[in-house]
Amino acid sequence: QAWENMQLLFLGTLALFVGVTVAVPAQEKRVHHKPDLSDHVHDDAHGYQYDHEAFLGKEEAKTFDQLSPEESKDRLGKIVDRIDTDKDGFISHAELHHWIKHRQRKYIEENVDKHWKEYDQNKDGKIGWIEYKNTTYGYYMDAEFDDVDDKETYKAMLTRDERRFKSADRDGDGVATREEFTAFLHPEEFDHMRDIVIQETIEDIDKNGDGKINLQEYIGDMFTPEDGENEPDWVTTEKKHFSEFRDMNKDGFLDANEVSHWILPGEVDHADNEARHLIHETDKNNDDKITKKEILANWNMFVGSQATNYGEDLTKRHDEL
């Protein structure tokens, strides 16, 4: 199992670096954009599909579209009870924001689920660093594994994983809870892991070990020219981006702060905006929080049903006519 895991990890890393001459810059994969909550346009005048997918997640929204209005409202009521974590009878902005973010992180949770089963060897609901290390690297650290070059590579990977694990392990007990293990596998999703994401990015690209990224290293991460190959237009554009935008202090290098602006751009918090929007549209007494009664009165903004689908189909047909 560990050998297969490492093969997959190694092949994945290899694929990342081999696929450098394709039209889409490999570097773009380093930039951690927050995805929007839905592929639909956010325009309430033409339906609430965006709101449904934001509130429920894309797959769950499809399930609700098959339900009768009564079933949809009934399920929505149960969801509202779950969102109201402090059980005060109101849904605050913070509670709704947390819920929407949670729904959007479902793909991450599924990935964590998969790995959790592999690494929680003693089934105690936690993953210790020793458990993770032995499962992933045990074979390569063994005295019988005698490929020296490979051994050094895996030692470097082990050191990097240990540093990331310690960062994710906030209470420093050497054991990761589910939330801490999620931060370990998906550090770009957690504010307290920003420094690790930046550090790992610099280490990947910085070939001369000076702790900074120069133009040659920046382009080299994306593009390695074949003999006699002309430089593609996008490489010229990237060189311009480096000097005009990325290198903010114009010293010819990207330091940690500049790398942070590049790969972790400060972006709109879509979940925050959607929580404010839903509360604004539903809060009838303007107290900046909403009750279960207010939500159920405006239920079709939160969830779909067969009826809302039928209504939207009729609207579309009318527009087409």
Q: Which residues pair with 300 in a beta bridge?
A: none
Q: Which of 99 and 141 is assigned the larger pLDDT?
A: 99
Name, in order, each residue with C-beta under 8 angstroms of 132's C-beta and a sequence gap of 6 or more: 119, 161, 165, 176
pLDDT of residue 29: 61
Among residues of the chain, what percentage have pLDDT more than 90? 59
Residue 27 confidence (pLDDT) above 80: no
Nearest Cα neighbor of 305 from 94, 131, 75 is 75
Least-confidence region, from 141-145, 148-152, 170-174: 141-145
Geometric angle at alpha carbon 108, from 81 and 132, rounded to 5° = 120
b/e map 166-190, b = 16+ CB within 10 Å: ebbbeeeeebbbeebbbbbbbbbeb
Say if CB 170 and CB 180 are below 8 A apart: yes
Least-confidence region, from 34-48, 108-122, 127-141, 156-170: 34-48
Least-confidence region, from 36-40, 52-56, 152-156, 257-261: 36-40
Residues 37, 50: Cα–Cα separation, whole Å? 7
Residues 66, 306: Cα–Cα separation, whole Å? 5
Question: 294 burial class (0-12, 13-18, 19+ CB within 10 angstroms)?
Answer: middle
In the 3-class helix/strand/coil scheme, how is the chain assigned residue by residue? CHHHHHHHHHHHHHHHHHCCCCCCCHHHHHCCCCCCCCCCCCCHHHCCHHHHHHHHCHHHHHHHCCCCHHHHHHHHHHHHHHHCCCCCCEECHHHHHHHHHHHHCHHHHHHHHHHHHHHCCCCCCCEEHHHHHHHHHHHHHCCCCCCHHHHHHHHHHHHHHHHHHHHHCCCCCCEECHHHHHHHHCHHHCHHHHHHHHHHHHHHHCCCCCCCEEHHHHHHCCCCCCCCCCCCHHHHHHHHHHHHHHCCCCCCEECHHHHHHHHCCCCCCHHHHHHHHHHHHHCCCCCCCEEHHHHHHCHHHHCCCHHHHHHHHHHHHHHHC
pLDDT tens digits along 240-296: 999 999 999 999 999 999 999 999 887 778 899 999 999 999 999 989 999 999 999
Residues 46, 312: Cα–Cα separation, whole Å? 8
Phi-psi region of 211 (alpha: psi -120 to 50; beta: other; left: phi over 0): left
Structure-block tokens of residue 223: 């593009």
pLDDT of residue 230: 87
Total-model pTM: 0.64
Say if CB 51 and CB 100 are below 8 A apart: no
pLDDT tens digits along 192-205: 999 999 999 999 99
